[in-house]
Amino acid sequence: MTISESGVSVDQATRQALMSLAIGDTGFLGEAADMREQLRASTSLDPKTFSLVKIGALVALDAAPASYLWQVKAALDAGASPQEILGVLTAVAPQTGMPRVVAAAPEIMVALGLELPAEPGL
- pLDDT tens for the chain, 122 residues long, are 666 566 678 788 777 777 776 666 666 665 655 666 667 666 788 999 999 999 999 999 999 988 898 899 999 999 999 999 999 999 999 999 999 999 999 999 999 999 988 875 55
Rounded to whole angstroms, the Cα distance separating 76 from 11 reads: 34
pLDDT of residue 2: 64
pLDDT of residue 51: 93
- pTM for the full predicted model: 0.70
Cα Rg of the chain, angstroms: 17
Rounded to whole angstroms, the Cα distance separating 39 from 3 reads: 39
pLDDT of residue 110: 92
Burial of 121 (C-beta count, 10 Å sphere; 0-12/13-18/19+): exposed
CB-based contacts of 48, cutoff 8 Å, min separation 6 = 75, 78, 79, 80, 84
Task: Give the count of alpha carbons within 13 A of 92, CB side only.
Answer: 23
pLDDT of residue 42: 67
